[in-house]
Amino acid sequence: MNLRRRVSGDVTGFVGKLDPDIISMLEESMAKRIIEDFRDQGLVYDLSAVTYFGSHNDLARFGHYYDANGNEKEINFVLSVTRNGGISVHQRSLPGNIVSVSTIKNFALELKDYGIKGILIVIDRGFYSEENLRSFKFIGAIPSNLKVSRDIISESKDIDRTMNYISYNGETIFFSEHKEEKRFIVYYSLRRKSEQLDSFLSSMSGIQDLLNEVKNRKKHSMF
């Protein structure tokens, strides 16, 4: 037990004394091995913005969440992990004003340096772009404001037919498939629709109650 701790401490101390270039080479070598071992399982890649309250950091910039975080600067952190196991293969700290969609381009260059081209990446709609579509095989949602999204949804107006349903986690979900250079799948959940409708009607009811309360106050103030 003590020997194991000593060896672990010696390795940590050794790596800690190395200059950044050698540490970077070690990280690259480890990432390459991990990607090669897990390449058939895919990678999960995402970006998170962290609000910065300090005064001296070159990465702190006004970014996407400027209005939501109290007009503070932020720093972006990107991370890619294996789909199974969540093993980190790529991590970077980036200026807060860099948008999500552009970060994946640098990730693609690193993958090419590893000699890997055909890899499946699971991404969210923040990384969608036509260039990313051409460069990657990926699974992810696309923004609802795009023409292709509106067209596909319009073509799926008869999606709720018995021939289009599947059972997923005890829920009945309807789906339709479309191919326009890439494969698009539309999912329609009756449960989610019901929940959204219930939430909307509850909000409307709350607003109506508030309006009635204001009207009653005005009536009482007149007498």
Instruction: State the pLDDT at residue 6.
Output: 44
- Calculate the CA 197 to chain-centre distance: 26
173: helix, coil or strand? strand
pLDDT-derived band at 60 (thresholds 50, 70, 90) equals confident
Residue of higher predicted confidence among 71 and 8: 71
Q: Which residues of 95-121 are buried (b: 16+ CB within 10 A; e: fewer)?
A: ebebebbebbeebbebbeebeeeebeb
pLDDT-derived band at 49 (thresholds 50, 70, 90) equals confident
Q: Give this prediction's pTM.
A: 0.53
pLDDT digits (tens, 9 = 90+) for 69-105: 567 888 888 888 877 778 777 778 888 787 777 777 7
